[in-house]
Protein backbone atom coordinates (compact mmCIF):
# COMPACT_ATOMS: atom_id res chain seq x y z
CA UNK A 1 0.00 0.00 0.00
CA UNK A 2 1.36 3.39 -1.05
CA UNK A 3 0.23 6.83 0.03
CA UNK A 4 -0.08 9.26 -2.88
CA UNK A 5 -0.40 13.03 -2.48
CA UNK A 6 -1.45 15.74 -4.93
CA UNK A 7 -1.65 19.43 -4.18
CA UNK A 8 -4.19 21.09 -6.44
CA UNK A 9 -3.69 24.53 -7.98
CA UNK A 10 -6.24 25.83 -5.49
CA UNK A 11 -3.97 24.78 -2.61
CA UNK A 12 -6.20 21.87 -1.55
CA UNK A 13 -4.26 18.70 -0.69
CA UNK A 14 -5.62 15.33 -1.84
CA UNK A 15 -4.22 12.11 -0.34
CA UNK A 16 -5.09 8.48 -1.07
CA UNK A 17 -3.95 5.04 -0.01
CA UNK A 18 -5.28 2.24 -2.19
CA UNK A 19 -6.11 -1.08 -0.53
CA UNK A 20 -6.82 -3.37 -3.50
CA UNK A 21 -8.34 -6.19 -1.44
CA UNK A 22 -11.21 -4.01 -0.13
CA UNK A 23 -14.65 -3.37 -1.60
CA UNK A 24 -15.22 -0.18 0.39
CA UNK A 25 -13.59 3.18 0.93
CA UNK A 26 -13.28 5.65 3.78
CA UNK A 27 -12.98 9.26 2.76
CA UNK A 28 -13.25 12.62 4.38
CA UNK A 29 -12.19 16.22 4.67
CA UNK A 30 -9.97 17.25 7.56
CA UNK A 31 -9.66 20.93 8.44
CA UNK A 32 -6.79 22.35 10.46
CA UNK A 33 -9.19 24.31 12.63
CA UNK A 34 -11.14 23.60 15.79
CA UNK A 35 -12.25 25.19 19.03
CA UNK A 36 -8.87 26.92 19.50
CA UNK A 37 -9.63 29.02 16.44
CA UNK A 38 -12.70 30.65 17.98
CA UNK A 39 -12.83 34.22 19.22
CA UNK A 40 -14.14 35.01 22.71
CA UNK A 41 -17.67 35.48 21.34
CA UNK A 42 -17.53 32.27 19.29
CA UNK A 43 -17.13 29.72 22.07
CA UNK A 44 -18.74 26.54 20.72
CA UNK A 45 -19.24 27.74 17.14
CA UNK A 46 -16.78 25.24 15.60
CA UNK A 47 -18.88 22.40 16.98
CA UNK A 48 -22.15 24.07 15.96
CA UNK A 49 -20.82 24.52 12.41
CA UNK A 50 -20.06 20.80 12.23
CA UNK A 51 -23.69 20.08 13.16
CA UNK A 52 -25.14 22.65 10.77
CA UNK A 53 -23.21 21.28 7.78
CA UNK A 54 -25.65 18.36 7.67
CA UNK A 55 -28.79 20.53 7.99
CA UNK A 56 -29.30 21.37 4.35
CA UNK A 57 -27.56 22.85 1.34
CA UNK A 58 -28.63 24.69 -1.79
CA UNK A 59 -29.30 21.31 -3.46
CA UNK A 60 -30.18 18.98 -0.58
CA UNK A 61 -32.36 19.12 2.51
CA UNK A 62 -31.12 17.60 5.76
CA UNK A 63 -33.29 14.57 5.02
CA UNK A 64 -31.87 14.27 1.48
CA UNK A 65 -28.34 14.12 2.87
CA UNK A 66 -29.25 11.34 5.30
CA UNK A 67 -31.32 9.34 2.83
CA UNK A 68 -28.97 9.54 -0.14
CA UNK A 69 -25.96 8.21 1.76
CA UNK A 70 -28.00 5.53 3.54
CA UNK A 71 -29.79 4.47 0.34
CA UNK A 72 -26.46 2.99 -0.76
CA UNK A 73 -25.68 1.51 2.66
CA UNK A 74 -23.12 4.18 3.51
CA UNK A 75 -22.64 6.39 6.52
CA UNK A 76 -21.52 9.96 7.03
CA UNK A 77 -20.48 11.81 10.17
CA UNK A 78 -18.27 14.56 11.55
CA UNK A 79 -16.19 15.43 14.62
CA UNK A 80 -14.77 18.58 16.21
CA UNK A 81 -11.66 18.64 18.36
CA UNK A 82 -9.46 21.33 19.84
CA UNK A 83 -7.37 21.90 16.73
CA UNK A 84 -9.12 20.00 13.93
CA UNK A 85 -12.54 19.28 12.44
CA UNK A 86 -13.38 16.36 10.18
CA UNK A 87 -16.26 15.34 7.91
CA UNK A 88 -16.09 11.75 6.71
CA UNK A 89 -17.98 8.97 4.99
CA UNK A 90 -17.73 5.20 4.51
CA UNK A 91 -19.20 3.71 1.33
CA UNK A 92 -18.79 0.85 -1.15
CA UNK A 93 -16.31 1.58 -3.94
CA UNK A 94 -18.95 2.32 -6.58
CA UNK A 95 -20.47 4.99 -4.36
CA UNK A 96 -17.30 7.05 -3.80
CA UNK A 97 -18.49 9.72 -6.31
CA UNK A 98 -21.72 10.15 -4.32
CA UNK A 99 -19.81 10.52 -1.05
CA UNK A 100 -17.46 13.10 -2.60
CA UNK A 101 -20.45 15.02 -3.93
CA UNK A 102 -22.21 15.06 -0.55
CA UNK A 103 -19.08 16.10 1.37
CA UNK A 104 -18.38 18.87 -1.13
CA UNK A 105 -21.99 20.00 -1.01
CA UNK A 106 -22.10 20.37 2.78
CA UNK A 107 -18.75 22.17 2.86
CA UNK A 108 -19.39 24.62 0.01
CA UNK A 109 -23.16 25.09 -0.15
CA UNK A 110 -24.52 24.81 3.40
CA UNK A 111 -27.67 26.89 3.77
CA UNK A 112 -27.49 27.67 7.52
CA UNK A 113 -31.25 28.00 7.58
CA UNK A 114 -32.58 29.97 10.57
CA UNK A 115 -35.19 27.34 11.54
CA UNK A 116 -32.67 24.50 11.29
CA UNK A 117 -30.21 26.55 13.35
CA UNK A 118 -32.71 27.08 16.16
CA UNK A 119 -33.51 23.35 16.24
CA UNK A 120 -29.85 22.38 16.28
CA UNK A 121 -29.11 24.79 19.11
CA UNK A 122 -31.58 22.83 21.23
CA UNK A 123 -29.87 19.57 20.28
CA UNK A 124 -26.51 20.96 21.41
CA UNK A 125 -28.01 22.27 24.66
CA UNK A 126 -29.14 18.71 25.35
CA UNK A 127 -25.63 17.51 24.53
CA UNK A 128 -24.15 20.03 26.99
CA UNK A 129 -26.60 18.95 29.70
CA UNK A 130 -25.87 15.28 29.07
CA UNK A 131 -22.11 15.91 29.34
CA UNK A 132 -22.59 17.69 32.69
CA UNK A 133 -24.28 14.55 34.00
CA UNK A 134 -21.21 12.44 33.21
CA UNK A 135 -18.55 12.93 35.91
CA UNK A 136 -15.85 11.22 33.85
CA UNK A 137 -16.39 13.91 31.18
CA UNK A 138 -16.71 16.80 33.62
CA UNK A 139 -13.40 15.98 35.33
CA UNK A 140 -11.56 16.42 32.00
CA UNK A 141 -13.34 19.69 31.20
CA UNK A 142 -12.51 21.10 34.63
CA UNK A 143 -8.91 19.96 34.23
CA UNK A 144 -8.47 21.84 30.95
CA UNK A 145 -10.19 24.94 32.31
CA UNK A 146 -7.73 24.98 35.22
CA UNK A 147 -4.53 23.97 33.42
CA UNK A 148 -5.13 26.57 30.69
CA UNK A 149 -7.21 29.10 32.57
CA UNK A 150 -8.91 31.89 30.57
CA UNK A 151 -7.65 30.51 27.26
CA UNK A 152 -9.36 28.99 24.24
CA UNK A 153 -7.42 25.75 24.82
CA UNK A 154 -9.04 25.43 28.24
CA UNK A 155 -12.63 25.89 27.10
CA UNK A 156 -15.04 22.97 26.53
CA UNK A 157 -15.53 22.29 22.83
CA UNK A 158 -19.33 22.26 23.14
CA UNK A 159 -19.53 25.86 24.33
CA UNK A 160 -21.99 27.12 26.94
CA UNK A 161 -25.78 27.49 26.74
CA UNK A 162 -25.37 31.26 26.58
CA UNK A 163 -22.87 31.26 23.71
CA UNK A 164 -24.66 28.54 21.70
CA UNK A 165 -28.01 30.36 21.91
CA UNK A 166 -26.38 33.59 20.73
CA UNK A 167 -25.06 32.34 17.38
CA UNK A 168 -26.48 33.55 14.07
CA UNK A 169 -25.90 32.45 10.44
CA UNK A 170 -23.59 35.46 9.78
CA UNK A 171 -21.40 34.46 12.75
CA UNK A 172 -21.15 30.89 11.46
CA UNK A 173 -20.20 32.15 8.00
CA UNK A 174 -17.57 34.45 9.53
CA UNK A 175 -15.90 31.51 11.31
CA UNK A 176 -16.19 29.43 8.14
CA UNK A 177 -14.62 32.17 6.03
CA UNK A 178 -11.63 32.51 8.35
CA UNK A 179 -10.86 28.83 8.70
CA UNK A 180 -12.27 26.65 5.92
CA UNK A 181 -9.79 27.57 3.19
CA UNK A 182 -7.88 25.27 0.86
CA UNK A 183 -4.51 25.79 2.56
CA UNK A 184 -5.97 24.36 5.79
CA UNK A 185 -7.95 21.47 4.28
CA UNK A 186 -6.99 17.90 3.37
CA UNK A 187 -9.18 15.46 1.44
CA UNK A 188 -8.16 11.89 2.25
CA UNK A 189 -9.43 8.54 0.96
CA UNK A 190 -8.30 5.01 1.78
CA UNK A 191 -9.47 1.61 0.63
CA UNK A 192 -11.00 0.91 -2.79
CA UNK A 193 -9.93 4.14 -4.47
CA UNK A 194 -7.75 5.04 -7.43
CA UNK A 195 -5.67 8.17 -6.90
CA UNK A 196 -5.95 9.99 -10.22
CA UNK A 197 -9.67 9.33 -10.50
CA UNK A 198 -10.25 10.53 -6.95
CA UNK A 199 -8.17 13.67 -7.55
CA UNK A 200 -10.29 14.57 -10.58
CA UNK A 201 -13.50 14.15 -8.57
CA UNK A 202 -12.20 16.34 -5.76
CA UNK A 203 -10.83 18.98 -8.12
CA UNK A 204 -14.21 19.30 -9.82
CA UNK A 205 -16.49 19.22 -6.78
CA UNK A 206 -14.38 21.33 -4.40
CA UNK A 207 -13.48 23.99 -6.97
CA UNK A 208 -15.51 26.67 -5.18
CA UNK A 209 -13.63 26.43 -1.88
CA UNK A 210 -12.03 29.76 -0.96
CA UNK A 211 -8.25 29.92 -1.22
CA UNK A 212 -7.83 32.93 1.07
CA UNK A 213 -9.42 33.57 4.48
CA UNK A 214 -11.81 36.48 4.89
CA UNK A 215 -9.82 37.49 7.99
CA UNK A 216 -6.69 36.25 9.72
CA UNK A 217 -7.32 32.92 11.52
CA UNK A 218 -7.32 33.09 15.31
CA UNK A 219 -4.88 31.01 17.34
CA UNK A 220 -4.02 32.05 20.90
CA UNK A 221 -0.68 30.75 22.17
CA UNK A 222 -1.06 28.26 25.02
CA UNK A 223 0.13 29.11 28.53
CA UNK A 224 0.07 26.17 30.92
CA UNK A 225 -0.76 27.37 34.44
CA UNK A 226 -1.70 24.40 36.64
CA UNK A 227 -3.86 24.49 39.72
CA UNK A 228 -6.57 22.76 41.69
CA UNK A 229 -10.30 22.37 41.05
CA UNK A 230 -12.66 20.23 43.14
CA UNK A 231 -16.36 19.72 42.64
CA UNK A 232 -17.96 17.83 45.53
CA UNK A 233 -20.95 15.82 44.35
CA UNK A 234 -23.10 13.19 45.99
CA UNK A 235 -21.86 10.33 43.83
CA UNK A 236 -20.90 6.72 44.43
CA UNK A 237 -17.40 7.22 43.03
CA UNK A 238 -14.77 9.92 42.81
CA UNK A 239 -13.13 10.88 39.52
CA UNK A 240 -9.54 12.09 39.90
CA UNK A 241 -7.32 13.56 37.19
CA UNK A 242 -3.74 14.51 38.08
CA UNK A 243 -1.78 16.06 35.25
CA UNK A 244 1.16 18.10 34.04
CA UNK A 245 2.15 20.10 30.99
CA UNK A 246 3.01 17.64 28.22
CA UNK A 247 4.89 18.02 24.97
CA UNK A 248 3.79 19.49 21.66
CA UNK A 249 3.68 17.32 18.55
CA UNK A 250 6.95 18.67 17.22
CA UNK A 251 8.83 18.64 20.53
CA UNK A 252 11.80 16.31 20.87
CA UNK A 253 10.18 14.54 23.84
CA UNK A 254 6.77 13.97 22.22
CA UNK A 255 7.29 10.29 21.39
CA UNK A 256 9.20 9.81 24.63
CA UNK A 257 6.11 11.09 26.46
CA UNK A 258 3.93 8.60 24.57
CA UNK A 259 6.17 5.74 25.69
CA UNK A 260 6.24 7.00 29.28
CA UNK A 261 2.44 7.18 29.40
CA UNK A 262 2.28 3.62 28.12
CA UNK A 263 4.77 2.37 30.74
CA UNK A 264 2.90 4.07 33.55
CA UNK A 265 -0.69 3.35 32.59
CA UNK A 266 -1.12 2.08 29.06
CA UNK A 267 -2.60 -1.33 29.73
CA UNK A 268 -3.16 -4.15 32.20
CA UNK A 269 0.60 -4.78 32.50
CA UNK A 270 1.40 -1.12 33.21
CA UNK A 271 2.80 0.06 36.53
CA UNK A 272 -0.26 1.93 37.73
CA UNK A 273 -2.74 -0.77 36.74
CA UNK A 274 -0.71 -3.47 38.47
CA UNK A 275 0.16 -1.57 41.64
CA UNK A 276 -3.00 0.43 42.18
CA UNK A 277 -5.71 -1.85 40.86
CA UNK A 278 -4.39 -5.40 40.91
CA UNK A 279 -2.18 -5.44 44.00
CA UNK A 280 -3.92 -2.88 46.22
CA UNK A 281 -7.46 -2.88 44.80
CA UNK A 282 -7.75 0.89 45.25
CA UNK A 283 -9.75 1.69 42.12
CA UNK A 284 -11.70 0.08 39.32
CA UNK A 285 -10.15 2.20 36.56
CA UNK A 286 -6.76 3.87 36.17
CA UNK A 287 -4.70 4.85 33.16
CA UNK A 288 -2.14 7.39 31.97
CA UNK A 289 -2.29 9.38 28.75
CA UNK A 290 -0.40 12.00 26.80
CA UNK A 291 -2.14 14.41 24.42
CA UNK A 292 -0.12 16.62 22.11
CA UNK A 293 -1.19 19.94 20.65
CA UNK A 294 0.58 22.27 18.25
CA UNK A 295 2.39 24.19 20.99
CA UNK A 296 1.90 22.27 24.25
CA UNK A 297 0.48 19.04 25.63
CA UNK A 298 -1.10 17.30 28.60
CA UNK A 299 0.27 14.32 30.50
CA UNK A 300 -2.34 12.93 32.86
CA UNK A 301 -3.34 10.10 35.16
CA UNK A 302 -7.05 9.41 35.52
CA UNK A 303 -8.50 7.21 38.25
CA UNK A 304 -12.03 6.33 39.34
CA UNK A 305 -12.58 5.00 42.84
CA UNK A 306 -14.65 5.15 45.99
CA UNK A 307 -14.08 8.31 48.03
CA UNK A 308 -12.83 6.28 51.02
CA UNK A 309 -9.83 5.10 48.97
CA UNK A 310 -8.50 8.58 48.15
CA UNK A 311 -6.17 8.91 51.18
CA UNK A 312 -4.24 5.85 50.01
CA UNK A 313 -4.77 6.10 46.25
CA UNK A 314 -3.17 9.50 45.60
CA UNK A 315 0.08 8.79 47.52
CA UNK A 316 0.48 5.48 45.68
CA UNK A 317 0.08 7.21 42.31
CA UNK A 318 2.64 9.84 43.27
CA UNK A 319 5.02 7.15 44.53
CA UNK A 320 4.86 5.48 41.11
CA UNK A 321 5.71 8.82 39.48
CA UNK A 322 8.80 9.09 41.70
CA UNK A 323 9.81 5.53 40.83
CA UNK A 324 9.51 6.25 37.11
CA UNK A 325 12.06 9.06 37.49
CA UNK A 326 14.45 6.67 39.23
CA UNK A 327 14.24 3.49 37.18
CA UNK A 328 12.48 2.07 34.14
CA UNK A 329 13.26 -1.44 32.96
CA UNK A 330 14.15 -1.94 29.31
CA UNK A 331 11.51 -4.69 29.15
CA UNK A 332 8.86 -2.05 29.83
CA UNK A 333 10.13 0.07 26.95
CA UNK A 334 10.15 -2.89 24.58
CA UNK A 335 6.58 -3.75 25.62
CA UNK A 336 5.43 -0.16 25.08
CA UNK A 337 6.99 -0.09 21.61
CA UNK A 338 5.27 -3.37 20.75
CA UNK A 339 1.90 -1.97 21.82
CA UNK A 340 2.34 1.17 19.72
CA UNK A 341 3.52 -0.87 16.73
CA UNK A 342 0.50 -3.17 16.97
CA UNK A 343 -1.82 -0.15 17.13
CA UNK A 344 -0.23 1.25 13.97
CA UNK A 345 -0.50 -2.02 12.08
CA UNK A 346 -4.03 -2.78 13.26
CA UNK A 347 -5.06 0.69 12.20
CA UNK A 348 -3.90 -0.11 8.66
CA UNK A 349 -6.45 -2.93 8.51
CA UNK A 350 -9.30 -0.44 8.87
CA UNK A 351 -9.71 2.10 6.05
CA UNK A 352 -11.48 4.53 8.40
CA UNK A 353 -8.72 4.35 11.01
CA UNK A 354 -6.06 4.60 8.35
CA UNK A 355 -7.68 7.67 6.77
CA UNK A 356 -7.59 9.37 10.16
CA UNK A 357 -3.92 8.45 10.65
CA UNK A 358 -2.90 9.81 7.26
CA UNK A 359 -4.93 13.01 7.73
CA UNK A 360 -3.34 13.71 11.12
CA UNK A 361 0.14 13.17 9.71
CA UNK A 362 -0.52 15.53 6.82
CA UNK A 363 -1.87 18.24 9.12
CA UNK A 364 0.96 17.89 11.64
CA UNK A 365 3.98 17.11 9.49
CA UNK A 366 2.94 17.99 5.96
CA UNK A 367 3.64 14.45 4.74
CA UNK A 368 2.72 10.84 5.50
CA UNK A 369 4.94 9.09 8.05
CA UNK A 370 5.73 5.45 7.31
CA UNK A 371 5.54 2.83 10.05
CA UNK A 372 9.24 2.16 9.53
CA UNK A 373 10.08 5.81 10.23
CA UNK A 374 7.75 5.85 13.22
CA UNK A 375 9.37 2.78 14.74
CA UNK A 376 12.83 4.22 14.12
CA UNK A 377 11.83 7.24 16.18
CA UNK A 378 10.58 4.99 18.97
CA UNK A 379 13.71 2.82 18.83
CA UNK A 380 15.80 5.86 19.66
CA UNK A 381 14.10 6.26 23.03
CA UNK A 382 16.24 4.86 25.85
CA UNK A 383 15.50 4.21 29.52
CA UNK A 384 17.80 7.12 30.38
CA UNK A 385 15.73 9.51 28.29
CA UNK A 386 12.54 8.23 29.90
CA UNK A 387 13.71 8.62 33.50
CA UNK A 388 15.11 12.08 32.70
CA UNK A 389 11.78 13.09 31.15
CA UNK A 390 9.82 11.74 34.12
CA UNK A 391 11.95 13.80 36.49
CA UNK A 392 11.35 16.98 34.53
CA UNK A 393 7.72 16.31 33.71
CA UNK A 394 6.42 15.38 37.15
CA UNK A 395 8.61 17.37 39.53
CA UNK A 396 9.78 20.53 37.77
CA UNK A 397 6.39 21.91 36.71
CA UNK A 398 3.20 22.81 38.55
CA UNK A 399 0.67 19.96 38.71
CA UNK A 400 -3.03 20.29 37.89
CA UNK A 401 -5.59 18.37 39.93
CA UNK A 402 -9.22 17.98 38.91
CA UNK A 403 -11.61 15.98 41.07
CA UNK A 404 -15.35 15.38 41.22
CA UNK A 405 -17.48 13.27 43.56
CA UNK A 406 -17.15 12.45 47.29
CA UNK A 407 -13.92 14.34 48.02
CA UNK A 408 -13.93 14.81 51.79
CA UNK A 409 -10.97 12.43 52.13
CA UNK A 410 -8.88 13.97 49.36
CA UNK A 411 -5.70 15.59 50.67
CA UNK A 412 -5.22 19.38 50.37
CA UNK A 413 -3.55 20.51 47.16
CA UNK A 414 -0.63 21.92 49.15
CA UNK A 415 0.21 18.45 50.44
CA UNK A 416 -0.14 16.86 47.00
CA UNK A 417 2.04 19.52 45.39
CA UNK A 418 4.67 19.11 48.13
CA UNK A 419 4.83 15.36 47.51
CA UNK A 420 5.45 16.08 43.83
CA UNK A 421 8.54 18.18 44.46
CA UNK A 422 11.89 16.74 43.41
CA UNK A 423 14.16 15.08 46.00
CA UNK A 424 16.39 18.17 45.89
CA UNK A 425 13.43 20.45 46.59
CA UNK A 426 12.23 18.20 49.40
CA UNK A 427 15.68 18.41 50.97
CA UNK A 428 15.65 22.18 50.81
CA UNK A 429 12.16 22.31 52.37
CA UNK A 430 13.18 19.97 55.20
CA UNK A 431 16.15 22.21 56.06
CA UNK A 432 13.98 25.32 56.47
> For 44-101, how does the pLDDT look when each residue is reduced to its tens digit (9 = 90+)?
999 999 999 999 999 999 999 999 999 999 999 999 999 999 999 999 999 999 999 9
* Integer Cα distance of 407 and 304 in angstroms: 12
Residue 423, CA distances (Å) to 118, 304, 420 in order: 57, 28, 9
Q: Which pairing describes strands 227-232 and 400-405: parallel, antiparallel, or unpaired?
A: parallel
Give me the torsion for CA of 255, 217, 5, 105, rounded to 10°.
120
Once rounded to an integer, what is the mean pLDDT over residues 385-392? Answer: 97
pLDDT tier at 428, thresholds 50, 70, 90: very low
- Considering the domain 227-431 in this protein, what is its CATH number? 3.30.830.10
The set of catalytic residues is 50
Q: Which of 335, 257, 298 is nearest to 153 (CA)?
A: 298
Q: CA 13, 15, 18 angle in degrees (round to 5)?
A: 165
Extents of the domains making up the chain: 3-205, 227-431
Which strands, in side-by-side order, build the sheet including 400-405? 227-232, 400-405, 238-246, 297-305, 285-292
Give me the torsion for CA of 35, 36, 39, 41, rounded to 10°.
40
| Integer Rg of the chain from CA | 23
Q: Is residue 266 scored above 60 in pLDDT?
A: yes
Contact 151, 224 (CB under 8 A): no
* Integer Cα distance of 383 and 372 in angstroms: 21
Q: Is residue 427 scored above 80 in pLDDT?
A: no
> For 123-182, how does the pLDDT look when each residue is reduced to its tens digit (9 = 90+)?
999 999 999 999 999 999 999 999 999 999 999 999 999 999 999 999 999 999 999 999
Contact 297, 247 (CB under 8 A): yes
Q: What integer pLDDT is reported at residue 1 of this predicted model?
A: 63
For residue 57, give the DSSP letter: B
The chain-wide mean pLDDT, for the chain, equals: 94
* Integer Cα distance of 224 and 415 in angstroms: 21
Once rounded to an integer, what is the mean pLDDT over residues 180-194? Answer: 97
Q: What integer pLDDT is reported at residue 372 of this predicted model?
A: 87
Q: Which pairing describes strands 185-191 and 13-18: parallel, antiparallel, or unpaired?
A: parallel
Comparing 315 with 432, the larger pLDDT belongs to 315
- Considering the domain 3-205 in this protein, what is its CATH number? 3.30.830.10
Amino acid sequence: MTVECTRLKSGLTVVTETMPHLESAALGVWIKSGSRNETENEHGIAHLLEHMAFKGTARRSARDIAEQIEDVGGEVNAATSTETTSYYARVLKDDVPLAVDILADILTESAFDEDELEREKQVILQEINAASDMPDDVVFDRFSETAFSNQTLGRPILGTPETVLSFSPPQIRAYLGRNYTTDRMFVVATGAVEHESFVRMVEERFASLPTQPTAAPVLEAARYIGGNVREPRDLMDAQILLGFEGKAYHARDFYCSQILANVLGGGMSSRLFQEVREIRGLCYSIYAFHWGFSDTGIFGIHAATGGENLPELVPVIIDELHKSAEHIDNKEVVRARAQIRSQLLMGQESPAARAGQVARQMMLYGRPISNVEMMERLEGITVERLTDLAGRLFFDTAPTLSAIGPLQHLAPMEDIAASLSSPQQQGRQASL
